[in-house]
Structure formats: structure tokens, C-alpha cells
Amino acid sequence: MMVFDSLLALIIAALAWRCVTVRDLFQAIVTFIVLGLMLALSWTRLDAPDLALAEAGIGAGLLGVLLLSTWRVVRDAGPDQGEGPPPSPWVRTAAAVGSIALGTAFAVVLHTVEVDSDRAGGLALESLGEAGVEQPVTAVLLNFRSYDTLLELGVLLMALIGAVLLRSPLIHRPAAEDTGTESPLLPVLVTVFTPLVLLMGTFLVWAGAHSPGGAFQGGAVLAGAGVMLVLGGRLGGDAQVSLLLRALLILGVSVFTVIGLLLMPLEGAFMAYPEGLVYPLMVTIEFSLALSIGLTLLLLFTGTNGLRGAPA
């Protein structure tokens, strides 16, 4: 396995180097996506299947689509979209020296670090019995360190508001001249796959309690279904936003916060779940999170305020 790991590590490093140095932007983006997949692979090797799922779904998949779509805008704008003059050789040399030093330092540190094995994670594994779920990462995310997760949802919401403020939509409806030539297979793809993908997303959320998966991965898959609908022309961005959509967008963070706040006077601490209710509460939270995450990611993709079904 050492050989395989070494090869994978080498590929990762080479892809990273190529992504940064290759001249063509498109190639850089594609390399980045491949890099994401390779990382996902390496993370399964490192006992982190949850993260591999997340990286493949969000980091490479969703972000990849977004990058490619943005690349189209960049390409259409013409060649002069680069930022000023290229850095001087001095800057390049300094950056090279700096990055080599940084990399060496990190490599040395990672090889010599004396890892403390008496740590919070070990405690988390021991306390799984009180956490209400079997899957340790889910327990950490939704129980032991649920506050982080809650705040992180805020980050998603903020990024969305920022994108909306920019009014730079990226709605992928087939362009007018393309409508006549639309592939007959595309509707098939959308019709067959969307329910399956939705099912899989839901499964991932539900499975999060005992096996790899969870709200984030499930949400990402849900968003993927949405992206597919958008690309297939079944769903489009809209400048108007319905109250329902907004309510769904904030569902996760609101449910999370309200449960936490309501139980605070009873349990004496914010986000402390009463015994017996831990599992149902966590499932409720997880599903509302997944829904909000999926919709937020989808809207980040369309870059619009709202969504509209099957545009005329």
C-alpha cells in the first residue's frame, strides 16, 4: 500500500503544481477538479470517508461545475481579464523561496510532531453513548460541537446574500439558438436521475447517524440534483424570491437556534438536548440543515435571488 499511497501523494503534488502553473485557465480548473477527486481518494485511505464524500461532492463536484461555468464567462469576456502585469522575477523568486521554506517546514513538522493521543477526539469516541448517534463525526458536528456547525450555516447564508447583492446570475438555460437542437437525451437524464439523486441525498442525511454521510454530504447531493435540473432547463434562477424559498433557506439555522434557545432554560446550557429526545431532535435538525444547505448551494450556483420552475 505504501507504493500506492506514494503514487497518490505524488499525483496530488503534481496536479497542484500543474494547477498553479499551467498557462491555460481552463486546464487549471480541470486540474483542480481532478485534484479534488484525488484528494477524496487519498482521504478514504486516511480513514476519512465522510470527508472524501464531502470533498468529492462539494469540493470537486459542485465547486467544479461552478468554476467551469464561471470560466465560460471569463472566456467570453475576452483575453484581457488578467490582473495587471505578471509578477516580476524578484517576486517569483521570493515566492518560490518562501514556499519551499514553508513546505519544508511543514514537512519537517508533520514528520517530527509528537502527537498527543490523549485528546478531545478520544473523549468524543468514548462519549458516543451519550451523543445519541453512532457516527462519531455526526456526533461532533451536531452535538459536542454543534455550535460550530450552527455558526458555519451563517457563513453559507452570508455568502448567499453576498452573491445575491452582486446580481451576477449564472443561470444555465440553453441559449435561444440552442433550443431547436436540444438533445433528446437530456430530458431522459434529468427525469431518470433527479429522483434517484434526491433519494440518495435523503439517504445520506439519514445515514449520517450511523455511517458515513450527514447533512452536509446529503445537502450537497441535493444541491447536485438541483444543479442538474437547472442545467437540464427544468429549473431556472429568478430575480424574485418567494417567502417559502427564503423560509427553507433559513430553516436549518432557525430550527437549530430555536431548539437550542428553547431548551437552554430547561437544560441549563445552550444546545443541550434533554435525555431521550436526543435522537429525534438531531434527526430533525439534520434534515432541516440538509434542506437549507442544499438550497443555499444551489442558489450560490445560480447566483440568483430565487428559483423558478420550467421556464417557458
Amino acid at 39: L
The CB-of-23 to another protein minimum distance in angstroms stands at 10
- The answer to whether residue 32 forms part of the interface with another protein (CB under 8 A) is yes
- The answer to whether residue 310 forms part of the interface with another protein (CB under 8 A) is no
Q: Find all residues with CB under 8 Å of 213, minimum gap 6, and list them.
A: 50, 53, 135, 203, 204, 205, 206, 207
| Interatomic CA distance for residues 82 and 70, integer angstroms | 14
Closest to another protein by CB, 55 or 286? 55
The CB-of-141 to another protein minimum distance in angstroms stands at 5
The CB-of-225 to another protein minimum distance in angstroms stands at 13
Q: How far is CA 167 from the centre of its chain?
A: 22
The CB-of-201 to another protein minimum distance in angstroms stands at 14
- The answer to whether residue 10 forms part of the interface with another protein (CB under 8 A) is yes
Amino acid at 160: L
Place of cell 464524500: 53
- Dihedral sign for Cα 21, 23, 29, 31, please: negative
Helix (H) or strand (E) holding 306, with range, is strand 306-309
Among residues 7, 21, 57, which one has the least CA distance to residue 37?
Answer: 57
Site string for another protein, 142-171 (x = CB under 8 A): -xxxxxxx-xx-xxxxxxxxxxxxxxx-x-
Closest to another protein by CB, 25 or 207? 25
From the list 41, 134, 141, 173, which residue makes contact with another protein (rule: CB under 8 A)? 141
- The answer to whether residue 270 forms part of the interface with another protein (CB under 8 A) is yes
Q: Which residues ranging from 60 to 119 are in contact with another protein (CB under 8 A)?
A: 62-63, 66-67, 70-71, 73-74, 77, 81-87, 91-92, 94-96, 98-100, 102-119
Residue 223 burial (CB count, 10 A): 27
The CB-of-235 to another protein minimum distance in angstroms stands at 18
Q: Which residues ranging from 239 to 258 are in contact with another protein (CB under 8 A)?
A: 241, 243, 246-247, 249-250, 253-254, 257-258
How many residues bind to another protein according to rule CB under 8 A?
Answer: 151
| Interatomic CA distance for residues 20 and 69, integer angstroms | 19
DSSP state of 51: H
The CB-of-305 to another protein minimum distance in angstroms stands at 8
Length of the chain: 312
